[in-house]
Amino acid sequence: MSERLTPAGRIEIDGRIFNPYSKDFIRNPDPSWQVLLRDYPIAWHKDLQMWLISSHELCDRLLKDTRFSPYFGHWEHAPPPKAEADKNDFDRAYERGFFAVTNREHLRLRKLTMPAFSRPVMGRIDAKIRDLVVGCFDEIGDADSFDAYTALAAKIPVRAIARMVGVPTDMEAFFHQFAVDIIKCTRINIGPKEREAAMRATLPGFEYFKTVIAERRALPHPGDDFIGNLVGAVENGERLDDYEILSVIFALITAGSDTATDLHTYLLHALLSHPDQLALLRQQPELMENAIIECLRWGSFGKMPFFRFAVADTEFAGQLIRKGQGIGVNISAAWHDPAKWPDPTRLDITRRLDGNIVFGSGAHFCIGTYLVRVQGSLMLNEFMRRYPDATLADGTGDIDYEYTHHNARRINRLIVRTHLRQRQPRAA
């Protein structure tokens, strides 16, 4: 039996109902999601040792509920906190960040970081990202086919963040390694020794940014770019300290590089597997923003839920959630909830997406939506301009997944045929 009702009235499920590591699930998650949505909108998952909530309504409600914290340290199974003397820059940046501070501190952090994400600052970053995206397509050139993962998805996101935070191009390789090590530290599926080594490897990156921040603080005006806005931001007479600024860079890397990698492959996969929708986008480019969100909803690339932890015994959706228990907010399933999205497996770039939670909901709503729109639309526009007849190779793109990825249903192969050579006029 894969579910049982406990005497306390809580429904329990296990990996037979929802197993985010199973290959079948990664290839085709919808059957599992539909079972969860129909029968277990909220249940205790014995293997994950946490609650799992899947319906759109409950996920939206929970993300807005300030009685639950995203801070991992509240989890009943979290390792004991490090002693103050043992903490390094990684620990200090993490503990000052969006997912670790109290609700009040989080609000302060969001207010102080707002100017750095404003339209004028982001607008100045556009040109740098355009250059990067065009450069990736230039490298593909007029090849007969290319792998969208290696040629685009693996190249654009970390470099886009590097350009956003103002890393000079000759330091991009250094920044890339910093990002790889940071992401490694946040994985739940590595051992303590490996995590400690990855953590130590991040320290030169933190040192580099500490120097950049100190240089900016020493200037009469810190500058009107991203870092300058973080250094210069004032709210009620308060400023961001060095670790808070480091925590923002840390958050951009952890929340904005893996997600944007999947953005590129999932956009291309969704549209190339629905040529009618791609044709519609070509005819009506004003649908671009809606199309990006709909493709993300349709593809639902997340494998693991987003986490929250109860800071006190709390009643939610008729269940008693005990202090310290974790809650997996299964927003990928919610994006396919038929109660919210009629015919959820149909891709429709004209779909009305009001109330969607593709970028979360409530206080922790995604801060990177501008960068998602810019990266997504630049990539798709350049792709459509260069390859008007493109298709997925063999109809499927010879698609493959990185089954062991810690967080996402990561597509790591998607072969696109450009059909450019057939187009070129034959010599007489």
Structure tokens at 195: 């995590």
Residue 375 to residues 49, 83, 371, 379, Cα–Cα distance (Å) = 36, 41, 6, 6
Name which of 244 and 417 has its Cβ closer to ligand HEM.
Answer: 244
Span from 8-16, 312-320, 353-361, 401-409 in contact with ligand HEM (CB under 6 A)? 353-361
Number of residues that bind ligand HEM (CB under 6 A): 25
Residue 246 to residues 34, 94, 113, 254, 423, Cα–Cα distance (Å) = 40, 9, 12, 12, 49
Name which of 298 and 393 has its Cβ closer to ligand HEM.
Answer: 298
Instruction: List, in sequence order, every residue forming a beta bridge with 321; answer none if it has no partner.
Output: 314
Residues 6+ apart with CB under 8 A from 355: 60, 340
Span from 132-140, 309-317, 337-345, 363-371 in contact with ligand HEM (CB under 6 A)? 363-371
Contact flag: residue 371 with ligand HEM (CB under 6 A) = yes
Contact flag: residue 70 with ligand HEM (CB under 6 A) = yes
Query: How far is the C-alpha of 200 from the C-alpha of 187, rounded, in Å?
Result: 15
Query: How far is the C-alpha of 380 from the C-alpha of 136, rounded, in Å?
Result: 13
In whole angstroms, how close is the CB of 307 to ligand HEM at the nearest point?
Answer: 7
Name which of 98 and 383 has its Cβ closer to ligand HEM.
Answer: 98
Name which of 53 and 393 has its Cβ closer to ligand HEM.
Answer: 53
3-state DSSP of 226-293? HHHHHHHCCECCECCCHHHHHHHHHHHHHHHCHHHHHHHHHHHHHHHCCHHHHHHHHHCHHHHHHHHH
Contact flag: residue 249 with ligand HEM (CB under 6 A) = no
Closest CA to 94 of 199, 226, 164, 165: 199
Closest CA to 70 of 27, 41, 106: 106
Contact flag: residue 13 with ligand HEM (CB under 6 A) = no
Which of 140, 281, 358, 378: binder of ligand HEM (CB under 6 A)? Answer: 358
Name which of 333 and 393 has its Cβ closer to ligand HEM.
Answer: 333
Angle between helices 156-164 and 242-256 (to 10 degrees): 160
Span from 172-180, 280-288, 312-320, 367-375 in contact with ligand HEM (CB under 6 A)? 367-375
Contact flag: residue 69 with ligand HEM (CB under 6 A) = no
Q: Are 411 and 400 in contact (CB under 8 A)?
A: yes
Contact flag: residue 252 with ligand HEM (CB under 6 A) = yes
In whole angstroms, how close is the CB of 323 to ligand HEM at the nearest point?
Answer: 20
Which of 255, 321, 379, 420: binder of ligand HEM (CB under 6 A)? Answer: 255
Q: Are 209 and 246 in contact (CB under 8 A)?
A: yes
Name which of 10 and 128 has its Cβ closer to ligand HEM.
Answer: 128
Contact flag: residue 326 with ligand HEM (CB under 6 A) = no
**What residues numbered 120-139 form the site for ligand HEM, per CB under 6 A?**
none
In whole angstroms, how close is the CB of 205 to ligand HEM at the nearest point?
Answer: 16
Q: Are 55 and 305 in contact (CB under 8 A)?
A: no
Which of 359, 381, 403, 419: binder of ligand HEM (CB under 6 A)? Answer: 359
Helix, strand, coil content of the chain in percent (nearest 5): 55, 10, 35
3-state DSSP of 93-116? HHHCCCCCCCHHHHHHHHHHHHHH
- Select the residue whose beta carbon is closest to ligand HEM and give its number: 368
Contact flag: residue 26 with ligand HEM (CB under 6 A) = no
Provide the edge-to-edge strand list for the sheet that holds 42-45: 3-5, 11-13, 42-45, 50-53, 326-329, 306-310, 68-69
**What residues numbered 285-324 form the site for ligand HEM, per CB under 6 A?**
296, 306
Name which of 141 and 355 has its Cβ closer to ligand HEM.
Answer: 355
Name which of 231 and 255 has its Cβ closer to ligand HEM.
Answer: 255
Closest CA to 306 of 334, 340, 346, 339: 334
Contact flag: residue 36 with ligand HEM (CB under 6 A) = no
Q: Cβ of 100: how many Cβ atoms within 10 Å?
A: 18
In whole angstroms, how close is the CB of 98 to ligand HEM at the nearest point?
Answer: 3
Q: Are 233 and 116 in contact (CB under 8 A)?
A: yes
Contact flag: residue 116 with ligand HEM (CB under 6 A) = no
Contact flag: residue 98 with ligand HEM (CB under 6 A) = yes
In whole angstroms, how close is the CB of 117 to ligand HEM at the nearest point?
Answer: 9
Which of 251, 333, 380, 393: binder of ligand HEM (CB under 6 A)? Answer: 251
Which residues in this chain contact ligand HEM in the complex, by CB under 6 A? Answer: 63, 70, 98-99, 110, 161, 251-252, 255-256, 259-260, 263, 296, 306, 331, 358-360, 364, 366-368, 371-372
